[in-house]
Amino acid sequence: MAQATSVPVLFSSDAIVLPGMVVPIELDDTARAAVDAARATESGELLIAPRLGDRYPTYGVLATIVQVGRIPGGNGTAAVVRGKSRAHIGAGVNGPGAALWVSVEEVPEPEITDDTRALAAEYKKLLLAMLQRREAWQIIDFVNELTDPSALADTAGYASYLTQVQKRQLLETPDVVERLRALIDWTADHLAEVEVNDKIAEDVRSGMEKQQKEFLLRQQLAAIRKELGEFGPEGEENPDDYRARVEAADLPEKVREAALREVGKLERASDQSPEGGWIRTWLDTVLDLPWNTVTEDSTDLTAAREILDADHHGLDDVKDRIVEYLAVRARRAQRGLQVVGGRGSGAVMVLAGPPGVGKTSLGESVARALGRKFVRVALGGVRDEAEIRGHRRTYVGALPGRIVRAIGEAGSMNPVVLLDEIDKVGSDYRGDPAAALLEVLDPAQNHTFRDHYLDLDLDLSDVVFLATANVIENIPQALLDRMELVQIDGYTSDDKVAIARDFLLPRQRDRAALTADEVTVTDEALRKIAADYTREPGVRQFERLLAKAMRKATTRLAADPTPITIDEPDLVGYLGRPRFMPESAERTAVPGVATGLAVTGLGGDVLYIEAGSTDGDAGLQLTGQLGDVMKESAQIALSYVRAHAEQLGVDATALDRRIHVHVPAGAVPKDGPSAGVTMVTALVSMATGRQVRSDVGMTGEVTLNGRVLPIGGVKQKLLAAQRAGLKTVFIPQRNEADLDDVPAEVLAELDVRPMTDVADIVAQALEPAGQQATLAA
């Protein structure tokens, strides 16, 4: 340990002085006393120690005074001192003058080892890397000349990135190895932070330079285009181009005014504003709509009817309505009157019927007959009201609704728009799309239809709207009231044979690359397919079976090119065994089973109702997943039979048991009042032991007095009765007028009997008493 000496102390609170540093220190009275005392000594040294608040420092730096003078621009004085070496501070001692004197021991420099040199080299590398980033070349030369590890470490006293606490730690660490390790950690962390900050600053600077460059280039490009009178293909980034496009476009006056207002907003908006993009999208949408473009309707009524007949068999109601629409427009044009357009002139029809009867494909035929564009809008599963009316422009990614998009796709203001599956529209928290359709499909309102996105009046009065639906009950009543209802109730067997012969078979032959000379199918085979292989109101399954037969025929022709004729006996080889067989006789072979008729979303169908009794308390048990209305019909039927037991020939004691009424196909929900007469007949059959005639079907609602009330779907039910092989059908008297809609060939095959009293139906539907014994024998 070095010999202790006494030196005056100068406390510094502003700077931490390390050995080798030359720093100026502003002098107050205490500091001046220390400087004066040091200058009076032979060595001229003083101790510079950091001011540590309430803690007495243990280490300081022995320094010499280089110069004392006045501070430039001020009245105070300062001393320039040079740090010499570390010193350990001992006890205070007495000395001359007003200065504080202490006893100090100079800390000797440690021996330099290989580890010390390695750490010094690593620290110098980091220090030089940081100095190079700052381009401090003079300091770099100074650092390169340093070879003493301790002197190199003490240069950190000049580092601005180190805190006073860190510098004080260096002063109080005599071991050079510990100092170098601490400096390496601090310098590496700071260098990493500097590199990240520099990269971020560079990215920001380059991004701003790119934006400024693009802005200047766009301004120059706009000026050049303006001078040359040329514009880009889309008028991108050029408001003047949009103004020219709007002024040149054929727009209604109010639409033009609104578009020019938006162009003005676009001209005032900056290129960086997102509003500019929204305005451009809106203007593009408005300019793409065919505001004043209409197609000329065909005036040849005969040709229009021929087109409709060529594309579809039957469907006379729809065809008549379209021809009537054309006839009115043609007559107004001939007499010089304004062509129908405006309030109340639109044509809106809903085609309701089971699947596979040609509702959707009919839309394209109507468009061809009218000579108009055709566009289809699928509504199945749509739950958002904005899908119909569009989104407001305040939303990001807003678009016009499907109706406006359909007009744009069609390219004219008078297309045929098919709203497919309108009964499948749903509603949830986003709104009710069916409610949004109220204005679209109202001929009294749709001449001023307003889409939320466009916010402009759009005239839809010249559009022919065709909607399709399977179940009318699923359409809101307010919406159904705005449309003309056209029922398509399915096809008869003769219709199916004609459709298969004229439409389905040629199409499937063509898809299988066959000709009529190579494969023919007889009408008997087609009738057999319609009767025993399909039980559908439409012809979709029929066409699938024909496609299957054509595929098998193609396979056989590949092995044997002999022409093929598919007749009724050949169907098993092509289609397999028949899927449907007449079952009415088997189902009604026991008392208590009656055949009713029903209507589902797939068309008409037969419905078997079974009644039985067991020992137990009198009561009624119902099974078959019945709805509330159907349950009430069963209770009414039982009450009527009990009240009129003597008239119906029923032993009253037979009903004082547990009565069970079951409707098979229990997995299918069933509801409605039209099975009332069938339930009465089944209960009477069960109570009397007389079977219901196997060729009889019936439908009608019944009252407690036995009156037969009218029901709906007569045509579909009679078509189902014909398909099931029934011969006699009882219907309510008040439905007799509905027989006008039933095809003549169906009425020729069925004995349709309108009835007013259910007792008459029971009397005619049950087998005569004693007939069962004869049949059993």
Instruction: Give me the pLDDT at residue 680, please.
Output: 94
The annotation status of 401 as a binding-site residue, yes or no, is: no
Beta strands in 107-225 (DSSP E): none
Q: What per-residue confidence (pLDDT) applies to 430?
A: 67
Domain boundaries, the chain: 5-106, 231-288, 301-487, 493-575, 584-776
Does 381 count as an annotated binding residue? no
User: Residue 416's closest CA among 306, 318, 556?
Assistant: 318
pLDDT 10s digits, 343-388: 656 678 888 888 888 888 888 888 888 888 999 988 887 877 778 8
Tell me the CATH number for domain 301-487: 3.40.50.300
Q: Which of 607, 637, 613, 609 is nearest to 623 (CA)?
A: 609
**Calpha distance 462→449 (Å, rounded):** 12
Phi, psi angle pair for 75, to nearest 5°: -100, -10
Distance CA 437, CA 447 (A): 14
User: Strand, coil or helix: what is 132?
Assistant: helix
Q: Which residues of 73-85 are buried (b: 16+ CB within 10 A; e: fewer)?
A: eeeeebbebbbbb
- Reported as a single tens digit per residue, the pLDDT across 80-92 is 899 988 898 888 8
Which of 364, 379, 389, 375 lies closest to 290 in space, CA to CA? Answer: 375
**Spatial distance between the Cα atoms of 222 and 231, rounded to a whole number of angstroms:** 8
Among 387, 400, 202, 372, smallest CA distance to 298 is for: 372
Give the domain 5-106 fold: 2.30.130
What is the distance between the alpha carbons of residues 166 and 120, in angstroms, rounded to a whole number? 18
Are the C-beta atoms of 401 and 460 separated by less than 8 Å? no
Q: Is 354 known to sit in a ligand binding site?
A: yes
Tell me whether residue 167 is annotated as binding.
Answer: no
687, 711 Cβ separation under 8 angstroms: no
- Which residue in the list 124, 167, 528, 717 is annotated as catalytic? 717
Dist. CA 386–CA 375, nearest whole Å: 19
Where do runs of H (alpha helix) occur along 512-663? 523-528, 540-559, 571-575, 584-587, 628-643, 645-648
> What integer pLDDT is reported at residue 344 of this predicted model?
52
Query: Exposed, middle or buried: residue 582 (CB in 10 Å: 0-12, 13-18, 19+)?
Result: middle
Between 164-171 and 176-228, two packed helices, what is the crossing angle to 10 degrees? 150
Q: Are β-strands 101-106 and 347-352 bridged in parallel, bridged antiparallel, or unpaired?
A: unpaired
Q: Which residues have CB under 8 Å from 634's CB, separation 6+?
A: 620, 622, 626, 661, 679
515-549: burial string, b at 16+ Cβ within 10 Å, e else: eeebbbbeeebbbbbbbbbbbbbbbbbbbebbbeb
- Please report, for residues 500, 529, 577, the alpha-carbon distance to residue 569 in angstroms, rounded to integers and kept in the order given: 18, 11, 11
360 among annotated binding-site residues: yes
358 marked among binding-site residues: yes
Q: Where are the beta strands (DSSP E) in 295-441?
A: 347-352, 374-378, 416-420
- Name residues of the chain where pLDDT drops below 70: 1-2, 53-54, 73-74, 225-226, 229-240, 270-272, 338-346, 428-431, 601, 667, 770-777
Q: What is the predicted pLDDT for the residue at 428? A: 66
3-state secondary structure 380-405: CCCCCCHHHHCCCCCCCCCCCCHHHH
Q: What is the CATH number of domain 584-776?
A: 3.30.230.10
3-state secondary structure of 538: coil
Neighbours of 274 (CB within 10 A): 9
C-beta atoms surrounding 338 within 10 Å = 9
pTM for the model? 0.61
What pLDDT sits at residue 342? 57
Residue 443 pLDDT: 80
Which pLDDT does position 343 carry in this prediction?
60
> Residues 12, 150, 461, 674: which is the catalytic one?
674
Distance CA 255, CA 433 (A): 26
Report the number of secondary-structure helices (H) and strands (E) in the chain.
29, 24
Contacts with 214 (C-beta within 8 Å, 6 or more apart), sequence order:
none
Domain 493-575: which topology?
Helicase, Ruva Protein; domain 3 (1.10.8)
- State the number of CA atoms in the 13 A half-sphere of 518 facing the CB: 19
Does 226 participate in catalysis according to the annotation? Answer: no
Residue type, 739: L
Per the annotation, does 355 bind a ligand? Answer: yes
The CA angle 54-59-60, to the nearest 5 degrees, is 100
Instruction: Answer for the pair 620, 659: CB distance below 8 angstroms, yes or no.
Output: yes
- Does residue 361 have an active-site annotation? no
Q: Using CA atoms, how far apart are residues 253 and 259, in angstroms rounded to an integer?
A: 10
Beta bridge partners of 450: 457
The token pair at 513 is 């690359």
Bridge partners of residue 520, in order along the sequence: 565
Interatomic CA distance for residues 347 and 342, integer angstroms: 11
